[in-house]
Amino acid sequence: MLAEYAVRVERSRGRRYSEPQHPYRDDFQRDRDRVIHSRAFRRLEAKTQVFTRGYSDHFRNRLTHTLEVAQIARTVAAQLELNLDLVEALALVHDVGHPPFGHAGEKALDAAMREHHAFFDHNLHALRIVENFELRYAAFPGLNLSFEVREGIIKHSHDYDAREFPELAEYLLDKRPPLEAQLIDLADEIAYTAADLDDGYEARLLSLGEIRDGLPVFNAFYQNAEESWPAAMDKLKFNEALKRFLDCFVGDLIRNSKANIEAAGVRSLEAVRTYPERLIAFSPGIEEQRRQAKAFLYERLYYSPALDLEKKEGERVIRELFEFWMTNPQSLPSSYQEKAAREPLERVVCDYIAGMTDPFIYDQYGKYSPASR
Q: Are residues 321 and 222 in the same domain?
A: no
The span from the CA of 69 to the CA of 88, in Å, is: 9
Cα 49 from Cα 77, distance rounded (Å): 25
Q: Which of 265, 286, 308 is the last residue of a domain?
A: 308
CA distance linking residue 203 with residue 20, whole number of Å: 50
Residues 293 and 326 in one domain: no
Amino acid letter at 179?
L
Q: Residue 233: give its domain's CATH number.
A: 1.10.3210.10
Look up the domain containing 185 and give its range: 9-308
**Which of 274, 308, 342 lies at the terminal end of a domain, its last residue?**
308
CA neighbor of 66 nearest in space, from 40, 108, 96: 96
Whether 286 and 249 have beta carbons less than 8 Å apart is answered as yes
- If one counts the domains in the chain, the total is 2
Same domain membership, residue 358 and residue 239 = no
Residues 22 and 40 in one domain: yes
The angle subtended at Cα 300 by Cα 298 and Cα 301, nearest 5°, is 70
Distance, C-alpha 135 to centroid of its chain: 22
Same domain, 316 and 297: no
| Residue 192 shares a structural domain with residue 74 | yes
Distance CA 243, CA 57 (A): 21
Residue 4 lies in a domain: no
Q: How many CB atoms lie within 10 A of CB 366?
A: 10
- Has residue 1 been placed in a domain? no
b/e 272-311 (16+ beta carbons within 10 angstroms → b):
bbebeebbbbbeeebeebbeebeebbeebbbebeebeebb
Please say whether the dihedral angle defined by the alpha carbons of residues 240, 241, 246 and 249, taken in this order, is positive or negative: positive
| Cα dihedral sign, 207-295-275-30 | negative
Q: Are residues 198 and 67 in the same domain?
A: yes
Do 35 and 155 lie in one domain? The reply is: yes
pLDDT tens, per residue, the chain with 373 residues: 899 999 999 999 999 999 999 999 999 999 999 999 999 999 999 998 887 656 667 889 999 999 999 999 999 999 999 999 999 999 999 999 999 999 999 999 999 999 999 999 999 999 999 999 999 999 999 999 999 999 999 999 989 999 999 999 999 999 999 999 999 999 999 999 999 999 999 999 999 999 999 999 999 999 999 999 999 999 999 999 999 999 999 999 999 999 999 999 999 999 999 999 999 999 999 999 999 999 999 999 999 998 998 899 999 999 999 999 999 999 999 999 999 999 999 999 999 999 999 999 999 999 998 766 6
- Please indicate, yes or no, whether residues 211 and 270 belong to a single structural domain of this protein: yes
Instruction: Check residue 53 and give its pLDDT.
Output: 59
pLDDT score at 373: 63
The single-letter DSSP state of residue 146 is B
What pLDDT was estimated at residue 372? 65
Q: What is the pLDDT of residue 369?
A: 80
Cα–Cα distances (Å) from 87 to 256, 268, 271, in that order, read 19, 17, 19
Q: Are 208 and 238 in contact (CB under 8 A)?
A: yes
DSSP 229-257: -TTS-HHHHHHHHHHHHHHHHHHHHHHHH
Mapped onto helix, strand or coil, the DSSP state of residue 61 is strand
